[in-house]
Amino acid sequence: MSNTKRKINTALISVFYKDGLYEIVKKLNEFGVKIYSTGGTYDFIKNSGINVHSVESLTSYPSIFGGRVKTLHPKIFGGILFRRSNANDTEEQIKYDVSAIDLVIVDLYPFEETLRQNADEDDLVEKIDIGGISLIRAAAKNFSDVLVVSSRNQYDCLKKILIEQQGETTLDQRKYFAAEAFNISSHYDTEIFKYLNQQQNINTFKQSINQVTALRYGENPHQKASFFGNLDEVFEQLHGKEISYNNLLDIDSAINLINEFDEPAFAILKHNNACGCASRNDITEAWKLALQADPVSAFGGVIISNRTVDGVCAEEINKIFFEVIIAPGFTDDALKILQSKKNRIILRHKQYPLHSQQFRTVLNGVVLQDRDNCTGGINELCFMTNVKPDEEQIRDLIFANKLVKHSKSNAIVLVKNRMLLASGTGQTSRVDALKQSIEKAKSFGLSLSGAVMASDAFFPFADCVQIAHESGINAVIQPGGSVRDQDSVDYCNMHDMAMVSTGIRHFRH
C-alpha cells in the first residue's frame, strides 16, 4: 500500500442528518471537488448554492423501490473499490468508464432512535440501512485510496484535515476513519440483530456500546478502566468529584438493593455489601437505624435512599464521612448541607430499564446469565416447622431475604424490626458467615433476642440453626433443598423456632 497522500477530487455524499454538512460541502467546493449526491442530501446541497451532481447522472439509473435502491450500482461501488495502484483495476476502470470516488460521506438510517420510540415493525424495517452501510464498508475496505466519513461527529476532524492539508489525506488518516467506520457498522448490525433475536433466541453473545467514559483507573491505580454506557440515563450528578471504577460497582450494588424496597428505606454499602439498612416511615429514623448496624464500615461508604432527603436527614448524614449519596431527590436545604464537602458525590437517581441479563469475562470467554429477579413475598413462603412465624417475623424475614440476596456468598443476614443487625459475607463456610454476623452484632451492642436469620443457600447441617438459636434468634428463612433439611427442621421444632423456605437460592460471587 502506498504511503503517499491522496487528493480528494470526487466525493459521494448521502446523509440522514444534515447538521454541520454545509461547512463541509462549502470547503469541498472551494477545493474544486466534484460532488455526487442523492435524494434529500442532493436537495440540501443544491439549495445551499453549491454545485452538485445527482447519482442518477453517474449511473444512468433512477432510484427505485421507494428509495430502497439508489446507490447499489457498479459505477458507484467500482469508483470506490478499484485500486488506484493496481494496473488491472485501472484498465477496467477505463474500459467501463468508472469515475474514481475519493471521499464517501454517508451516515446510517437511525435504527436505534426509531427503536427507542417504540415504532412498529414496518417503520423499523425501513430504518435498516442497506445502501449506506454497503457504501461505508466499501470505502473503509479501500482505505488505501478512499476516505470514509461515517458520522456527523467526524465533521470537525474532516474539516480540519481539509483546511490544513488543502484537500489531501494521509494513509494513517484514512485507516483511522476506516476503523471508525467498521466500529459504526458493526454496532449498527449488532443492534438490528438484538432486536430481531428477541423472538428468535439464537444463542450467541453480541454486545456493542459506543458511549464511553474514561475512568481515573480500575479497582487499583495500576489498572486502566473505562465505563461503556450512558450514566445520564441512571442518575444526575449534582455535586462532587469524578466517579471512580469502585464507586460504580458500589453504586450498582446500592441501586440493585434499594430497588427491592417499596417502603421507605435507607442502606449503607461498602465493597458491594450492605453494612447497614433499615426501613421506617420517617426517613431520618431509617438513616439512624441503618447506621447503628456498623458505623465503622459506614465510614467512606455509599449510602442510598428510595425517598427524598430533606434538611433534617441531611444534618444527620453529614455527621459522618462518606463518598457517595444516592436518592431520588434532595431538598434545597439538604443539598446545601451535603455540598459542604467538595469531593462528596451526590447523585439524583432516575428510573431506568435494567438489563435482563448479566455477563462477565471468565477464562478465555464470557459467561451470561439471566438477572436474579426473584425475591419472593409472603405468598411464596413454605412454612417448614410446627411454629409458624407471626406477622412481624414474616415482615423481618422478607426484609432479611432481600438483604441476603444482595450479599456476597456465603452470606448470613440478621434482622430485627426491619433493621439490619449484622451480616456475615464472603465466607468460605456458612457457619463462619453466621459467627461473623453474631460477633459483629455483639461488638456494636445489638441484641439478637427475637431476631431473624436469612441464608443465601440451604443448610447442609443443623449446626447453623443451633448456633442461631443459642444467640437468641427465633426465626429463619432459607432456600431449602438440602438432603438434610429435616435435621434443621427437627432442631427448630425441638426449640420452638420458626423456619420458612423460599425454594430460591441467591448465591452471589
φ/ψ of residue 226, rounded to 5: -145, 155
Three cell numbers, residue 13? 455524499
State the Cα–Cα distance between residues 15 and 37, nearest whole angstrom. Answer: 9
State the Cα–Cα distance between residues 371 and 100, nearest whole angstrom. Answer: 52
Cα 38 to chain centroid, rounded: 37
Strand order in the sheet with 103-106: 53-54, 34-37, 10-14, 103-106, 147-149
∠ CA 33-36-40, rounded to 5°: 130
Q: Which residues contact 345 (CB under 8 A, 6 or more apart)?
A: 237, 239, 240, 241, 243, 247, 323, 324, 325
φ/ψ of residue 134, rounded to 5: -70, -40
In the annotation, is 506 catalytic?
no
Of 37, 39, 40, nearest in space to 13 by CA = 37
Of 437, 440, 441, 454, nearest in space to 400 by CA = 454
Q: How far, CA to CA in Å, does 99 sit from each of 31, 34, 76, 429?
A: 18, 11, 8, 73
Question: DSSP label at 153?
Answer: G
- Burial class of 3 by CB neighbour count within 10 A (0 to 12, 13 to 18, 19+): exposed
In the annotation, is 141 catalytic?
yes
The answer to whether the beta carbons of residues 398 and 377 sit under 8 Å apart is yes
Cα 507 to chain centroid, rounded: 22
Q: Which residues contact 98 (CB under 8 A, 6 or more apart)?
A: 74, 75, 78, 79, 82, 92
Measure the CA dihedral 341/345/346/348, to 10°: 170
State the Cα–Cα distance between residues 505 and 258, nearest whole angstrom. Answer: 20
Q: How far, CA to CA in Å, does 101 sit from each of 129, 185, 296?
A: 21, 20, 68
**Which entry of 5, 7, 159, 271 is annotated as an active-site residue?**
271
State the Cα–Cα distance between residues 20 and 502, nearest whole angstrom. Answer: 59
Of 226, 321, 323, 316, nearest in space to 278 by CA = 316
**Which entry of 141, 159, 241, 442 is annotated as an active-site residue?**
141
Beta-strand pair 365-370/357-362:
antiparallel
Per-position b or e across 365-400, b if 16+ CB within 10 A of its CB: eeeeeeeeeeebeeeebeebbebebeeebbbbbbbb
Three cell numbers, residue 6? 491522496
Which residues are annotated as catalytic? 141, 271
